Amino acid sequence: MNRNIVFILSVLVILSLPLTVVKPATAQTIKKKWVTSDKLNRRTCPSTSCGVVGRLFFREAAHVHEVKGGWARVSKYYNASCTSGRSELVDSGDSKCAPKNGIVDGKFAEWVSVLYLSSSRPEDPAKDASGDELLIAQSDDYRIYKKAFLKATRSLIEQDRCTKKDFIDNGGWVKSYTHRTKPIYFTYCNGYNKVYLNTKTGKIN
């Protein structure tokens, strides 16, 4: 058979075959959720036995990369800062740089319980704030310690230790991470004067 005819027939056969369209890989869908608990532990793996590297707070956004067994991964994998077999990033709990703790080849991602995530953002507890409440509406844990914040704020203003503008400029009271296990918060008055409040005892320093 003529070679040209063979070639033409081969082309026709190829053209008659169904085409398989290869779609380009798409980026992983990341869903935005909202925290519904006052504090939500961020762990090194999807288990309560894993180390805690920080927390998300009420109404804070969480970007979910994947969900596994009731747990949501809310970060990319990153360096665990392992030293002598332990992660320097772990605040509490298991700090071992080991697969059982979610740390593989020196990297891990953050996981939180899906039980405390919502597709809609919870209502702002300070939306109807007025008077002194407006001065502290942006405080950390406002929903929990509103009464203690109000009492301390009014006391500091009446003693002329702080002004209303001080609280507005500082966004109210901020959680002290040098006292992580205690309900201690701070604000700044008259520029750089740092004032601490223990919300449990009401003591102001």
Strand partners of residue 188: 194
Q: Give this prediction's pTM.
A: 0.74
What pLDDT band is residue 192 in, cutting at 50, 70 and 90? confident
Q: Cα separation of 52 and 42, whole Å?
A: 6
For residue 102, pLDDT over 60 is answered with yes
pLDDT mean over 82-100: 97
Provide the pLDDT for residue 5: 54
For residue 203, pLDDT over 60 is answered with yes
- 10-53 pLDDT tens trace: 545 555 555 443 344 345 689 999 999 999 999 999 999 999 99
Q: Cα separation of 198 and 201, whole Å?
A: 6
Domains of the chain: 31-118 (2.30.30), 132-198 (no CATH)
Lowest mean pLDDT among 10-24, 85-99, 146-160, 191-205: 10-24
Provide the pLDDT for residue 181: 84
Cα 59 to chain centroid distance, Å, stands at 10
Q: Residue 173 in contact with residue 185, Cβ under 8 Å? A: yes
pLDDT mean over 77-104: 97
